[in-house]
Amino acid sequence: MSIIKDINLHKLGEQKIEWVKKYMPVLRGLEEEFVKTQPFAGVKVALSIHLEAKTAYLVKVLAAGGATMYVTGSNPLSTQDDVAAALAHAGIEVFATHNCTMEEYDMYIAKAIEKDIDIVIDDGGDLTTLIHKDQKKASTIIGGAEETTTGIIRLKAMAKRGELMYPMMSVNDADCKHLFDNRYGTGQSSWDGIMRTSNLVIAGKTVVVAGYGWVSRGIAAKANGLGANVVVTEIDSIKAIEAIMDGFRVMTMDEAAKVGDIFVTGTGCKDVIIQKHFDTMKDGVLLSNAGHFDCEVSVADLEKNSVSKKEMRKNIMGYVQADGRILNVIGEGRLVNLAAADGHPAEIMDMSFALQALSMKYLLENHKDLENEVLAVPREIDLLVAQRKLESLDVNIDSLTQDQIDYLNE
């Protein structure tokens, strides 16, 4: 039995899924194949990914290939109730409600793995962590795939301690994932979230981007495109030079806190912006986070030290400081592109989720030979997704002649 907000919302959810499907040609092609070949017949899959329309379409594609799906979200604010309703209405078991408490969130994840599970599709590692609390359960699982950087870091730590009990495919590390999803996807959708929630101008503002990895590079590039003055903070000297060469100012967060108008964190780290930074910020700044967990902008510090708080606009909480300044947090400091917008554009998730679907097929076909490690997605799968994406865009590229291959191998 699904646990969702309201099944009557299903029509709106179906409309959203139909919309994204049109822009996900690679996944659509896989769906056509899977309907015929049924590669997942009899396979039970627990999935925990931000529950919006693109994810729902992935769920439908896997189900069309024969899988029985148990679905939950991967963040309380990113779940869309109408999309959850559409899946439940289609007969898929869903455990997710928007804005649930953390207790409910944990309960939903537990529900998704309550039955016997063969495969795990995770985003951030919460599902895998919970499964490993029950060694008996973990030992029955064939393997899984992880969607994001933070999840991969957690999984690698488990593998290093010798605790990982099944192989996990590192979808995030495939080129067709992080090059496009983390960079361009988060870049565009984070600004979508910040702009639609605040309805303020970006041009001319000083935007402070914490980190200069895949996610934060994309956010900085799009801020630049919107006409902002971009400041980058980093802990890695090489990334810092890269930011400088890309034309951005680099400074510490202590310095940046004083000059920024809009802050976006995307580091995967914690306590990137804390009280000592809040103390020196300008009145009216916007604070947001695009990293996986809501610990980059310390909302805990704001909750503790502010004299009061008030909702300034839908999804923007204003924290009033003792001197009267108001610091505005978007989407509770959770991933701004999902908590305050609809996540990455469909065309980008087309590649990420095609990788997920093909990784799952690979896992089923090869699991007996795989170690209990974090495993790279085979290059052939990455290239297949890229080729199909190009085909869908009607773009041809050159190929090497034998003569050229010989020349390059000399």
Distance CA 103, CA 201 (A): 37
The phi, psi pair for 297, rounded to 5°, reads -95, 120
Which 66-85 residues touch ligand NAI, going by CB under 6 A? none
Contact 257, 280 (CB under 8 A): yes
Quick one: which of 11, 14, 64 has its CA closest to 40?
Answer: 64
For the bound state, the minimum distance from the C-beta of residue 8 to ligand NAI, rounded and expressed in Å, comes to: 29
Distance CA 265, CA 236 (A): 15
Contact residue for ligand NAI among 186, 197, 328, 352 (CB under 6 A): 186
Distance CA 50, CA 337 (A): 11
For the bound state, the minimum distance from the C-beta of residue 153 to ligand NAI, rounded and expressed in Å, comes to: 8
Which 254-313 residues touch ligand NAI, going by CB under 6 A? 266-269, 272, 290-292
Check binding of 236 to ligand NAI (CB under 6 A).
yes
Contact residue for ligand NAI among 206, 233, 306, 328 (CB under 6 A): 233
| DSSP annotation of 121 | E
Per-residue interface string for the shown chain with ligand NAI, residues 195-224, x marking contact by CB under 6 A:
---------------xxxxxxx--------
For the bound state, the minimum distance from the C-beta of residue 259 to ligand NAI, rounded and expressed in Å, comes to: 16
As given in the structure block, the two tokens for residue 128 are 């895998």
Residues 6+ apart with CB under 8 A from 365: none
| DSSP annotation of 179 | I
| DSSP annotation of 41 | T
Number of residues that bind ligand NAI (CB under 6 A): 28
Using the rule CB under 6 A, give the single segment among 160-168, 201-209, 230-238, 375-383 that binds ligand NAI. Answer: 230-238
Per-residue interface string for the shown chain with ligand NAI, residues 166-185, x marking contact by CB under 6 A:
------------x---x---
Q: How many residues are recorded in the chain?
A: 410
As given in the structure block, the two tokens for residue 380 are 């052939």
Nearer to ligand NAI, 10 or 344 (CB): 344
Which 135-154 residues touch ligand NAI, going by CB under 6 A? 148-150
Contact 72, 96 (CB under 8 A): yes
- By the criterion CB under 6 A, which residues form the site for ligand NAI? 148-150, 178, 182, 186, 210-216, 233-236, 239, 266-269, 272, 290-292, 335, 337
